Amino acid sequence: MRRGADFLGSEHAILCGAMSWVSERRLVSAISNAGGFGVIACGAMTPDLLDSEIAATRALTDRPFGVNLITMHPQLFDLIEVCDRHGVGHVVLAGGIPPKGSVEAIKGGKADARVICFAPTLALGRKLLRSGGDALVIEGMEAGGHIGPVSTSVLAQEILPELAADHLVFVAGGIGRGEAIAGYLEMGAAGVQLGTRFACATESIAHPAFKQAFFRASARDAVASVQIDPRLPVIPVRALRNKGGELFNDRQREIAATLDRNEIALEEAQLQVEHYWAGALRRAVIEGDVENGSLMAGQSVGMVKREEPAAEIIAQLMDECETALTRRREPAAALS
């Protein structure tokens, strides 16, 4: 983990996943102040909004933090310029393959920032590293929000033995306890990323009703969305089962009907789907509408039992991790 911590500039190589409406100034600064690495979720923010959010976060912490940018954002290069102007040292590119020139723009700015990319496969991970990525995040389907089709444990077995010796790879998806962190570190990971465990931190601005839904939930309640129409390139989203999931299926049918009538293009259809999720997530996180909104959560939600300060969550994870590693070393020491 020291490799990852040195790269991030933090005490512990524990990143907070970028959760829209949740990973904002208060939670991000609290995680960084506690020795982890907070990451602002830019999402659909405009450059002006991101500018304000970075400045507000800077006012709350003097520790390093990063910014997560969505590669499909129409103003991606303007957002990169905002990050550079504020001297953001780490930019996370998510949502797809980085468009041409984006990695170069991040690394070539005044901040000389480092680029972290998501790699769903070994081949793409290698390509991203060759293209200038400084580190990778491999995230399994147990995660909350947009997910891929492969589990964290399988991704780790495929990618860590191939890349971790020479590159920085962080593992994400379904991690809720320090024992799991210990296992991935032993496999060569430079650190981990968690989202669900931090969503209900004391510093999280999520609505009390949103947090209570997490406290009541089990792993089986965090389910992946269904693609209704094969023409709609819908990336699955993992969230707690509620009426909002049914409403999303209805929305997909409505969008498919407009495709039938040739009223919109496929690209516009995808954009409408993303707009739905942005609005549904806000209804749950900010407004507390846990029936009709989207309760994006990973399968580790069953380990979220109460509201805790970010510092306590990180301390607990590190204690569990160190205890697990110590136990594994003791038999070897006895044999020697």
| Residues 214 and 68 both lie in one domain | no
| Residues 197 and 317 both lie in one domain | yes
The string of pLDDT tens digits covering residues 292-323 is: 999 999 999 999 999 999 999 999 999 999 99
Mean pLDDT of the chain: 94
Indicate the pairing of strand 145-146 with strand 237-240. Answer: antiparallel
| Residues 216 and 189 both lie in one domain | no
For 99-187, strand residue ranges (E) read 114-118, 135-139, 145-146, 168-172
| Residues 120 and 73 both lie in one domain | yes
Cα 168 to Cα 191: distance, rounded to the nearest angstrom: 8
| Residues 134 and 269 both lie in one domain | no
Tokens 């070897």 belong to which residue?
332
Query: What is the pLDDT averaged over residues 106-115?
Result: 95
The string of pLDDT tens digits covering residues 169-227 is: 999 999 999 999 999 999 999 999 999 999 999 999 999 999 999 999 999 999 999 88
- Widest CA span in the chain: 74
Q: In this structure, how many other beta carbons lie within 10 angstroms of the beta carbon of residue 122?
A: 16
The string of pLDDT tens digits covering residues 146-182 is: 999 999 999 999 999 999 999 999 999 999 999 999 9
| Residues 114 and 184 both lie in one domain | yes
| Residues 175 and 191 both lie in one domain | yes
Name the residue range of residue 90's domain: 2-206+304-335
The string of pLDDT tens digits covering residues 270-297 is: 778 777 887 899 999 999 999 999 999 9
pTM of the predicted structure, to 2 decimals: 0.94
| Residues 193 and 328 both lie in one domain | yes
| Residues 315 and 279 both lie in one domain | no
How many domains does the chain contain in total?
2
Q: In this structure, how many other beta carbons lie within 10 angstroms of the beta carbon of residue 52?
A: 14
Least confident among 52-66, 68-82, 124-138, 250-264 = 250-264
